[in-house]
Amino acid sequence: MTVTATTLRPIAGLGFDNSYARLGEPFGIRVSPTPLPDPVLVHFNADAAALIDLDPAEATRPEFLRHASGTEPIPGSDPVAMLYAGHQFGTFVPQLGDGRAILLGEVVNARGQRWDLHLKGSGPTPFSRGFDGRSVLRSAIREYLCGEALHALGIPTTRALCIVGSTEPVRRETVETAASIIRMAPTHVRIGSFEVFASRGQEDALRTLADYTIELHFPELIGLEDRYARMLETVSRRTASLMAQWQVVGFTHGVMNTDNFSITGLTIDYGPYAFMEAFEGTFIPNHSDPEGRYAYSQQPAIGQWNVSALAQALLPLMPREQAVAAFDTYVPAWEVAYARGMRNKLGLESAQPGDDQLLDELLILMHAARADWTTSWRALGGITLDRDSRAFASQFADRPGCDAWLARYRTRLRTERSDDNDRRIRMDAVNPRYVLRTWMAHEAVTAAQQGDFSIIDRLLQLLRHPFDEQPGNDAWATTAPSWAGSIELSCSS
């Protein structure tokens, strides 16, 4: 169904169905947001608004800002801070919960799709553990931009409706200003949501949450005797697929705690993430992760580790052999998704013996040269069966090694009678020209902190078409400038 002007709704007329809030305690605690003082609308996402049939004209009305800043409740909403636990950097924390966010409510659009409205930066809740419960403008902008960037790349992710800024001072590494973001997802239930009840031995609550999740997000499993095992298998496969998609585009999440992993396989809880520039398997975006637990190369294994934590939590609901069989689907699903993704990046239409070695040899060359991940793959599409790409070769100091690999690559292309033009079109459709590099987000943040929100809009327009050649935007497709070396990302990001 196409959303038309007749289906658009004001924010006071959204179709709320607050199923999670109706679960009551112990799944969450009803709490109202703490209003942001002196709120200002930093940006409004009309694309996200369309997902809930929200009239984009609402962004110009004073009442929208009052609702988005937490000053006034949205009619029909039922705010609740969600309870969960989680493994943080491998250590189990028995109670976490929404310490700086609130589930405002769940909107059902005209197509029957359910979207959580989750206000991040909403002030303290009973789960804040003494902290202020605020987000800062810097982190709000980074999450807002990256959600849209990953969505445009075809990677499952939360979205965001808007950013609201404020003059309220907030201390992180330095004093910054507070901000909030209304993020959107079909659900904000996460692996840690199950871990908390398993750790407490609350099997009834564990079963209630599992049945609730199945009813709303895995309805094909309703009534099946082995529905919990099948849910676990679905989560396992989706998580494996998500990890493969991250690896393929060079995205590194930075804080892959189980409380930051969605039960539906979405990218969630953006913090010190980064799109890798110079290829390095041990790339770590998070200054707070010196041991590299969540390094780029570790992401597939950590995804598997997190699924194992979910399997452990769900054991009271199924025989162990069912849990093991569901968990064991992770590695095959990962291998298939990753091989397919990298084969597409190489422009190969079929799988053949030796493809893994061909890929590994390229990655070794890229690692030795610290070749730019995005630029190198994009430039590879310019290779033809009888002509090199200067843009590709320029990434490598080892030209003999590069030339030798290209000779093997061309031989492989000829085995499937690859057509240069067709292959270029296919490769350009999976190897982006533009990604959200850390320095780009930093420029948007720096300008916004001075009251200039225009770069946010420019980047959104750019990143919504990451595979297109966009004349005049070449500067956004380059590696980090020298000044960007001083940028540090941490868990406060």
How is residue 231 written in tokens?
């849910």
What residues are paired with 274 via a beta bridge? 252
Non-local CB neighbours of 191 within 8 Å, separated by 6+ positions: 86, 235, 258, 259, 261, 263, 306, 307, 309, 310, 313
Lowest mean pLDDT among 36-40, 224-228, 366-370, 486-490: 486-490
Average pLDDT over residues 204-216: 98
Residue 5 in this model has a pLDDT that exceeds 80 = no
Please write the tens of the pLDDT for every residue from 10-59: 999 998 999 999 999 999 999 999 999 999 999 999 999 999 999 999 99
Residue 344, H or E segment: helix 330-346
d(CA 332, CA 237): 9
* Backbone angle region of 491, left / alpha / beta, with phi > 0 → left and psi within -120 to 50 → alpha: alpha
Average pLDDT over residues 145-161: 98
Please write the tens of the pLDDT for every residue from 32-46: 999 999 999 999 999
DSSP state of 160: E
How is residue 61 written in tokens?
């009305």
d(CA 464, CA 199): 42
Can you give the pLDDT at residue 193? Answer: 98
Share of residues in the chain with pLDDT > 90 (%): 91
d(CA 91, CA 461): 40
Residue 1 in this model has a pLDDT that exceeds 70 = no
Lowest mean pLDDT among 198-212, 277-291, 348-362, 472-486: 472-486
Average pLDDT over residues 93-111: 96
- The answer to whether 388 is a known catalytic residue is no
Please write the tens of the pLDDT for every residue from 235-258: 999 999 999 999 999 999 999 999
Residue with the larger pLDDT of the pair 283 and 489: 283
Average pLDDT over residues 391-401: 90
Residue 7 in this model has a pLDDT that exceeds 90 = no
Residue with the larger pLDDT of the pair 440 and 490: 440
Three-class secondary structure of residue 410 per DSSP: helix
* Per annotation, catalytic residue among 116, 259, 289, 372: 259
Cα separation values, 439 from 274, 457, 486, Å? 10, 16, 10
Please write the tens of the pLDDT for every residue from 65-87: 999 999 999 999 999 999 999 99
What band does 486 get if pLDDT is binned at 50, 70 and 90? confident
Q: Hey, how many other C-beta atoms are within 10 angstroms of the C-beta on 225? A: 8
d(CA 142, CA 233): 32
Can you give the pLDDT at residue 19? Answer: 97
d(CA 234, CA 218): 9
Can you give the pLDDT at residue 391? Answer: 85
Share of residues in the chain with pLDDT > 70 (%): 98
User: Nearest-CA neighbor of 427 among 390, 378, 391?
Assistant: 378
Can you give the pLDDT at residue 388? Answer: 78
